Chain A
Amino acid sequence: MIRIGVDVGGTFTDVTALDSATGRFHVVKLPSTGDDQSIAVTEGIRLVLADADATPEQVDYLGHGTTVATNALLERKGATTALLVTAGVADVLEIARQRRPHLYDLFADKPPVLVPRDRTVPVAERIGASGEVVRELTDAEVDRVIETVRRTGAAAVAICLLHSYRSAGHEQRVEEALRERLPEVFVSRSSRVAPEFREYERFSTAVINSFVGPVVSRYVRRLSERVAATGLPVGPRVIQSNGGLASPEAVAERPVTVLLSGPSAGVVGAGYLAGLAGHRDLITFDMGGTSTDVCLVRGGRPRSASERGLGGYPIRVPSVDVHTIGAGGGSIASVDGAGGLRVGPESAGARPGPAAYGHGGTQPTTTDANVVRGRQNPVSALGGAMPIDRVAAERAVGTVAEGLGCAPLEAARSIGRLANSHMARAVRRVSVEAGEDPRDYVLMAYGGAGPLHAAEVAEEVGMTRLLVPPNPGTLCALGLLVSDVRSEFSRAFLRPAEAAVLPALNETIAGVVAEARAWLDREARIATRHTVTVAADARYPRQNFELRIALPSDELDEAALAAAIADFHAQHEKSYGFAHADAAVQLVNIRAVAHGEVAKPDLPRLPQGGAAPDPAALRETREADFGADHGTVPTPVFDRAKLLAGNTIAGPAIVEQLDSTTVVPPGWTATVDEFGNLLIEVIR
């Protein structure tokens, strides 16, 4: 059988197929098709099947990562959306959390609201904090509201009423009337999209869901049709921000769940591969052309966040907690008037790209610095398919050398050191914010440029182990092959954890669990094992943040509740160094996590070799630079494709492959493991 993963990026669509019969990967890269991503997707499927010499009927799994929703939001090319909101507080989205976007830049702007005031429709109704009706929603008001929506010509509507997380009746009535009378309009209601308290974040999530809804619905419908037309017996499954898969139908209904999915497939793939090799505590380091994504994985599980932002808008949806900084291979270097060097966040992007790529770029980038130093192949890239213009790179880096008043080589080193220093700060940040010491972690480097920089970033942070996967440039596509089906359902509860609330608590749990099971039944037919786990977001009263504690998924009795409370105190102690053992605990949200485990493919193993690589693996020896301490030295360059398990390479060395280059500096040693990962360690 064949598994296929298709990851669509801004420039390229990556397709990876794993043939379980041969244990071989087949990889295809083709230009993305901007207007309709599904064209490149299906074309890629066709090409990869041809490469694997397989037929469509053999495919039993198709994982897909898409940027359709993300682009629609970032480029603000979503649907014309109307907002229905409790009368009196119609400006919740305008006022937001009343913070300005930048402390010192007086010219920074807030992101524009997605629904302007003239498409905002106040609804005469009011629910109170305990769910009681303060102002009745009349039928006449519902009629009026729908008429108003009709007049705005909106293609999508978000229904956002106060306290609907506690009492959704009013929102539901408006929704039903809308669906009945304006069936062509895309409708989201906040009590369904993100049923948690704090109106700005809930409303923002619902509005974004509607804004991108029609675009995403159209896309997944077309995608499903095209995939069916290729003869595949299975439909696509789409990766979400939480790293789990969902059906096209589920995504069409809650597109907000895929907005931050971009880097999540890579983290899932990294966690899986590293786990197979026995590494469970990782910091993922995905360095691409314009940015670097960093994420902490502890005990095999990526850290998750219940809320993240995109383009300045908060999105209240569980996501893999990736920290992104604007430093990548295309980051532009310059010298300011006071003699300070800058690297990024401005980027040369894919076009014109680094000067070395010969597409007309003239500004010096991190990539150009690597070419000048001989770390990146100064003759060609992509296995010879793309010529590298070393002279152009030197010319570009020369401008920085002039600004700094130093030799070009020194300037190239400086660019590398400063870029590494920015990335080291990001690595420190994701670890110290989790209360972890990065030195206890393995740095997992991928993305086209990650393995080029990882060792020096690790050195800066004091980390001593790196792991570079077999195909660093297509790890996201691998992640799509090993993702599980996953979703989360929550209800606001906001009551004290005490015996008196047990009946209400059990009812709420039963409700979310039923919702989760129904979803699994619908969604997880490809999964072998279904589980539903229950958790609560809990806090001490008046705290403004919550900790997640596990609850049993069946009925709670007093003893089980007491255990959960004890667990909360213990976790608080562990996370924050103190607990109020006598204080009351409030249960804010009840969550059910639906998990459908998908059988993992058996990944190919490398044949065992000796400690020394086959002489044929040595491609060349070229001058490469390792900084002021080690200088520019003749460096053996190995062909990754010819390395075998057990091979050991002492730094200085370079390992080249189609989609990436790995640098092993002096003082480090690389060992190839049975899965083809390079484990690179400091020599003690």
Chain B
Amino acid sequence: MTTDRTVDQVTVQVIGNAMLSVAEEMGAVLRRASYSTNIKERADCSTALFDARGRLVAQAEHIPIHMGSMKGLVTELLDTVGADGLRDGDVYITNDPYTGGGTHLPDITMAAPVFLAGRLVGFSANIAHHSDVGGHVPGSNSGDSTSIFQEGLRIPAVRFMVGGTVNEEVVAFVTLNSRLPEERRGDLLAQLAAVHTGGRRFADLHDKYGSETVVAASEQLLEYARKRLELAVGAIPDGVYTAADWLDADEPGQEPIRVRAAVTVRGAELSVSFDGTGRQANVAINVVRSALEATVYYALKAALDPDIPANGGFFDAVAIDAPEGSIVNPRSPAPVAARTDACQRIADVLLAALAKAVPDRVPAGSHSSITYVTFAGTDADFFVYPEVIAGGAGARPDRDGLDAVQVHVTNSSNLPIEALELEYPLRVETYELITDSGGAGEYRGGLGVRRDIRVLADHATFSAHADRQTFPPQGLAGGRDGSTGRFVLRPGTDTEQVLPGGRVSGIALRAGDVLRIESPGSGGYGDPHARPAESVAADVRQGRVSAESARDDYGRSDA
């Protein structure tokens, strides 16, 4: 050690690993103790440790959209309660996107200050997606709300626990506002157990290594992440790299919304401006600050260096400017529940801009739609079947894109056909890759997915919010665009009907009706004519490309 403020690099990394272990243990406790499938099985939650100044030092990652999104509550506590006002045994919650740093209401953040010998040493925090927090639809996650007040209960930063005792008044307040009060209570108590485990282990760590050492190590962990970013940015030529794309019209008849990003590189510094991005949406696809930040961090990590630690050192080194009143900086009370629809487009645009700076590291445009569908109805009981359908991932500068995967800020699984047919009066008749949905290119875009669902109940309704039904995934470097997605009612019959767009609700279905879901493919990379004949022939043999497309798009009439 040279000074009492510096710790050797390996001690920094050993302490970093130990803090990651604490976050992982918090995640294990949260998943084990939670009631709802969403947290337990789908791990729609994240856990983190912050230093005493509110900077993220370790996060157990599950979903990119959660990156840094617990920071809002910690910042809010330091700003409003103040370090002097925080008490051991107090635990705070919030879910509000406009005041508490959340990204939409179902995500409830919980944070506790951690003390060692009466001194604040940091915060233990977690975030979990609750399956219902009230609002006008079950699940509190509809795409068509027009105000955040329709989306559920807004919880400002309040104390869930006061001086070591659960604040039952707050619990009662929250649970009364949920359609599943018991589950809410169970999940909140699971979050509490996790926050306590994290706090205890974090304090143990300070005890074991000495607070001075841990504080210095945390500082250097932040510094290390910043340096990783600077190294990556420093390797890019200076310049302003811009790109733009469109979101489908938020409502029928409305103008579509443009997303534009300019990435400015000066030496080792990088900033992002969304100047030129369109108005805030009338439906729930608005992106508040924390969701925007998570999306930017995702795109930078993906394009520049996937191993940059997701911590405050990295986050604080990126300047983000977003015009007020736009979809990337909406004014309260703009609705936000389905914010990931727009996050996916933002990620595409950022990657397209970065492709101009680091052309060998960025794929063509991906399906980048949260194709979120629900079938609801009454059989023996009322049922709601929600699903998110994957699509194509963009072709890469050296290989084809991936078929049928989730991209960017999410990575959720499908529900097995057998599980869904056991549970709901529905039958999956088709689940397949869509021929020709990947944009042609020297490297072909990944394919989208077709899923046909037949209704077996007397009556049901179909609702969805999906994008890229108007504007296709963009090709890159001469590659062609991928296919758009669509919803088709009763395909192949006399009464076939293509639904008017990706945002629909309450489409009536009767027994025997089939609803076809087609997700978008993705863009191709490079000139299709440069694709080797044997690759085109293999694609035709495998049914990924039709003979017509081989001839028309690839110029291979022999395939």
- Counted as pairs of residues, one from A and one from B, with CB atoms less than 8 Å apart, the total is 188
Contacts of A432 in B (CB 8 A): 24-25, 28-29
**A221 → chain B closest CB, angstroms:** 34
Binds A, one of B272-280, B428-436, B551-559: B428-436
A606 at the interface (CB under 8 A from B): no
**Contact pattern, B 1-44, Cβ under 8 Å of A = 1, otherwise 0:** 00000001111011001101100110011001111010011000
In contact, A98 and B14 (Cβ under 8 angstroms): no
In contact, A106 and B390 (Cβ under 8 angstroms): no
In contact, B411 and A418 (Cβ under 8 angstroms): no
The verdict on A545 contacting B40 (CB below 8 Å), with A89-B417, A338-B224, A433-B28 known, is: yes
**Contact pattern, A 97-108, Cβ under 8 Å of B = 1, otherwise 0:** 111101111110
B91 at the interface (CB under 8 A from A): no
B224 contact from A339, A418, A422, A428, Cβ within 8 A: A339
Contacts of A404 in B (CB 8 A): 9-10
Contacts of B32 in A (CB 8 A): 435, 575-577
**Contact pattern, B 356-399, Cβ under 8 Å of A = 1, otherwise 0:** 00000111000000000000000000000000011001001011
B295 at the interface (CB under 8 A from A): no
In contact, A99 and B298 (Cβ under 8 angstroms): no
Contacts of B399 in A (CB 8 A): 107, 109
A91 at the interface (CB under 8 A from B): yes
B52 at the interface (CB under 8 A from A): no
The verdict on A88 contacting B402 (CB below 8 Å), with A341-B13, A421-B13, A545-B40 known, is: no
In contact, B543 and A424 (Cβ under 8 angstroms): no
A607 at the interface (CB under 8 A from B): no
Of B10, B25, B34, B193, most buried by chain A (CB within 10 Å of CB) is B10
Within 8 A of A (CB), among B224-268: 224, 227-228, 231
Name the CB-closest residue of B to A202. B418
In contact, B41 and A544 (Cβ under 8 angstroms): yes
Name the CB-closest residue of B to A118. B541
In contact, A578 and B186 (Cβ under 8 angstroms): yes
In contact, B430 and A106 (Cβ under 8 angstroms): no
Contacts of B543 in A (CB 8 A): 117-118
A25 at the interface (CB under 8 A from B): no
Contacts of A615 in B (CB 8 A): none
A97 contact from B11, B302, B413, B421, Cβ within 8 A: B413
Binds B, one of A192-200, A475-483, A664-672: A192-200
Contacts of B34 in A (CB 8 A): 576
In contact, A338 and B303 (Cβ under 8 angstroms): no
A504 at the interface (CB under 8 A from B): no
A181 at the interface (CB under 8 A from B): no
In contact, A109 and B422 (Cβ under 8 angstroms): no
Bound-state CA distance A134–B454 (Å) is 13
In contact, A116 and B542 (Cβ under 8 angstroms): yes
Within 8 A of B (CB), among A311-357: 336-341
Of A102, A104, A417, most buried by chain B (CB within 10 Å of CB) is A104
Name the CB-closest residue of A to B208. A462
Interface set of B (CB-CB < 8 Å, partner A)? 8-11, 13-14, 17-18, 20-21, 24-25, 28-29, 32-35, 37, 40-41, 61, 64, 186, 190, 193, 224, 227-228, 231, 298, 301-303, 306, 361-363, 389-390, 393, 396, 398-399, 402-407, 411-414, 416-419, 421-423, 427-433, 449, 452, 541-544
Q: Can you list 14 contacts pairing A with B, beta carbon distance less than 8 Å?
A: A95-B390, A95-B403, A95-B431, A99-B412, A103-B64, A117-B543, A129-B421, A198-B416, A340-B228, A418-B14, A432-B29, A460-B18, A542-B423, A544-B40
Top 7 A-B residue pairs of the complex, sorted by shortest distance between their CB atoms: A98-B390, A104-B306, A338-B227, A414-B10, A129-B421, A100-B405, A544-B41
Interface set of A (CB-CB < 8 Å, partner B)? 88-92, 94-100, 102-107, 109-110, 116-118, 128-129, 134, 162-163, 165, 197-200, 336-341, 404, 406, 410, 413-414, 417-418, 421-422, 424-425, 428-429, 432-433, 435, 460, 494, 542-545, 575-578
Given A88-B429, A129-B421, A199-B416, 17 further pairs, Cβ under 8 A: A91-B432, A92-B417, A95-B449, A97-B414, A99-B406, A100-B411, A106-B303, A107-B398, A197-B419, A198-B416, A340-B13, A417-B14, A422-B17, A429-B21, A435-B32, A460-B14, A542-B423
